[in-house]
Amino acid sequence: MMLGACPNNTSIVYEYMSNRNLEHHLSRKSGAPPLPWYVRFRICFEVTAALLFLHSLPENISHGDLNLKNIFLDQSFISKIGNVGIAKLFYRLSNIGTVEPLASIDHESDAHALGITMLRLLTGLPADQVVGFVGEALDNGQFDNILDVSAGEWPLVEAMELACLSLELVELRVRNQDDWMEKMMETLEKIRATVDERMANENQVFPQPPRGSEQSVPSYFLCPITQVPFYLSMN
């Protein structure tokens, strides 16, 4: 995501993500096309792999603020998580009274956020409602009624398995979140094999932007710190 920094201009340069973020697509802002179920499954796999990588580093890195706005999509709808470590900076500032206090930032908070993210991808529901609605739907045998219909015809067995694992992460019913995330990865790898097979059989394609809204890489970038545009040479 972050390509580098320019100290002379007090700016940070990020990779250009033409399909914006997950929040943009789930909320259908600016006519954004809905994400098909197979793209959502792949995003779940990619985000889980990215978090496990961060957690495995010697520095013991936690993201701290995983949400739909911090999961970006490139031209091929490959997901990448951004703003890693920003929340930890604010957490440190909160401890010295510089900003409002924040909740703890650790692997457990990442696991909880991952569970919420996956449930939202399955259902399209808001973060403050999704856990209760999914739990109730599973208990009542009506899980198929809560899946986001804009994503197409979900493979029900795989979707339900992912929902159950996500709920366990959210409700912190596991002692070791990283071990549980590794189990999630194993499940997602099996799901991905099923998804790939079904996509091949049904000739599924990636979503396309609305006609007339094609995006190209802009000739400038907006510094996230100063909010000042810097124009790039096209020579």
The catalytic residues are 65
Backbone angles phi, psi at 14, to 5 degrees: -110, 155
What's the Cα-to-Cα distance from 17 to each of 21, 28, 78, 189, 221, rounded to whole Å? 8, 17, 10, 25, 12
Q: What is the CA radius of gyration of the chain?
A: 19
Scored b (16 or more CB within 10 A) or e, 7-31 reads eeeebebbeebebebbebbbeeeee
For residues 213 and 31, what is the distance between their CA atoms, to the nearest angstrom? Answer: 9
Burial class (CB in 10 A: 0-12, 13-18, 19+), 208: exposed
Residue type, 187: T
For residues 121 and 43, what is the distance between their CA atoms, to the nearest angstrom? Answer: 9
Q: Which residues pair with 2 in a beta bridge?
A: 14
For residues 35 and 89, what is the distance between their CA atoms, to the nearest angstrom? Answer: 32
